[in-house]
């Protein structure tokens, strides 16, 4: 398109301006930009005027816009709260799992609920001189993520500890740590003593528990009966193999309740107290041997006076 520019002065020549598509695009862009600027300016002026004059109709428009903005902010906040609620639900499930796991650990370790309980977590300190402020949603999300990871790691650690405790508990079942008879005192301890028959100094390879005839004798640990017979000196004798070279002997019984080859559990009745063999009265002679060598049973037994498991 060509535009002719004619001057009022006849002496001046006529000028021709040629317009192409680029000029049209620039003109349209300028028009759009001018429209946007004018619209923003008009909207600003109208809102300022509405705020100054408090015109009811304009106030309704402003309030509607504010309500829409508040609704969008509330929806965004609700979305964050819902996400945090889901995370907190996951944390609650994990903490309940940790509670159950800690209860199993306490039971395996032989702790009572009172021993395993914590009377609260104390916290304190001086007030910080730095200004305090509320947590942001992003900061709370970061804290929840960190706590989730910490709980997960703690759960894995407790699972490993549970496996170790279970294994240790299983091993303890094969240690002769249970008092084999209910008795209030010992008539002879492990070590040198005055022999009741010869009056000479002699080594006693076990412990004598004084008890009434017929009192149940129980296995000090789980194992296999390898001997159940009458011995010239031990009288009616039982030997139990607990593995790893560990053997217990129960002598001078009045009656044997198990046979060779039987598998017994810790606390199972295996005989009754008597005075058979080389004995001066009813009692239980108890020995612990490791690879054939007599050991002091006190190293294995629990506190004296604890009733055996029947």
Domain of 9, in residue numbers: 2-51
Given a cut of 90, is residue 15 above it in pLDDT? Answer: no
* Domain boundary pick from 19, 36, 51: 51
pLDDT digits (tens, 9 = 90+) for 234-274: 999 999 999 889 999 999 999 999 999 999 999 999 999 99
What's the pLDDT at 310? 38
- CB hemisphere CA count around 127 (13 angstroms): 3
In a domain, 109, yes or no: no
How many domains does the chain fold into? 2
pLDDT of residue 228: 97
- For the stretch 68-78, pLDDT in tens is 787 787 777 77
Q: Establish if 233 belongs to a structural domain.
A: yes
Q: Is position 262 within any domain? A: yes
Q: Which residues contact 220 (CB under 8 A, 6 or more apart)?
A: 176, 177, 178, 179, 180, 240, 248, 266, 286, 288, 300, 301
What would the pLDDT profile of 118-147 be if each residue is shown by its tens digit?
A: 555 566 777 777 777 777 777 777 877 887
pLDDT value at position 72? Answer: 80
Q: What's the CATH code of the domain at 222? A: 2.70.70.10
Per residue in 263-309, pLDDT tens? 999 999 999 999 999 999 999 999 999 999 999 999 888 644 444 54
**268: in domain:** yes
Q: What is the pLDDT of residue 309?
A: 43
244 inside domain: yes
Q: What's the whole-number mean pLDDT along residues 42-65?
A: 65
Classify 198 as helix, strand or coil.
coil
Does residue 176 lie within any of the structural domains? Answer: no
**Boundary of a domain, candidates 13, 29, 51:** 51
Report how far apart the first and last C-alpha atoms of the chain are (Å, whole number): 116
**Is 159 part of a structural domain of the chain?**
no
What mean pLDDT is predicted for residues 207-217?
Answer: 95
CA atoms in the 13 A half-sphere facing the CB of 118: 6
Q: Does some domain include residue 231?
A: yes
The pLDDT score that the predictor gives to residue 246 is 92
Mean pLDDT, rounded, of the chain = 78
Residue 1's nearest CA partner among 22, 17, 25 is 17
Confidence of residue 156 (pLDDT cuts 50, 70, 90): confident
The mean pLDDT value for 10-28 works out to 65
Does position 57 have pLDDT exceeding 70, yes or no? no
């Amino acid at each position: 398109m060509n535009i002719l520019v004619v001057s009022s002065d006849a002496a001046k020549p006529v000028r021709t301006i040629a317009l192409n598509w680029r000029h049209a695009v620039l003109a349209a862009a300028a028009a759009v930009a001018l429209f946007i600027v004018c619209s923003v300016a008009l909207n600003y002026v109208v809102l300022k005027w509405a705020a100054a004059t408090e015109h009811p109709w304009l106030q309704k428009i402003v309030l509607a816009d504010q309500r829409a903005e508040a609704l969008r902010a509330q929806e965004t906040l609700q979305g964050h709260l819902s996400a945090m609620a889901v995370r907190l639900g996951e944390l609650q499930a994990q903490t309940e799992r940790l509670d159950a796991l800690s209860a199993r650990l306490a039971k395996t370790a032989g702790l009572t609920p009172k021993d395993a309980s914590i009377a609260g977590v104390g916290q304190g300190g001086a007030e910080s001189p730095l200004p305090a402020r509320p947590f942001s949603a992003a900061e709370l999300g970061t804290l929840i993520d960190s706590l989730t990871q910490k709980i997960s790691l703690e759960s894995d650690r407790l699972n490993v500890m549970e496996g170790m405790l279970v294994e240790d508990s299983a091993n303890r079942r094969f240690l002769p740590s249970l008092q084999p008879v209910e008795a209030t005192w010992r008539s002879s301890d492990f070590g040198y003593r005055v022999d009741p028959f010869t009056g000479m100094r002699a080594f006693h390879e076990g412990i004598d528990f004084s008890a009434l005839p017929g009192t149940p004798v129980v296995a000090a640990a789980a194992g296999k009966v390898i001997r159940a017979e009458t011995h010239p000196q031990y009288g009616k004798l039982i030997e139990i193999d607990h593995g790893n070279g560990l053997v217990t002997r129960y002598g001078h019984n009045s009656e044997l309740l198990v046979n060779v080859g039987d598998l017994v559990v810790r606390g199972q009745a295996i005989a009754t107290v008597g005075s058979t063999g080389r004995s001066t009265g009813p009692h239980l002679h108890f020995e612990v041997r490791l690879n054939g060598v007599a050991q002091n049973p006190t190293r294995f037994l629990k506190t004296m006076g604890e009733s055996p498991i029947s």
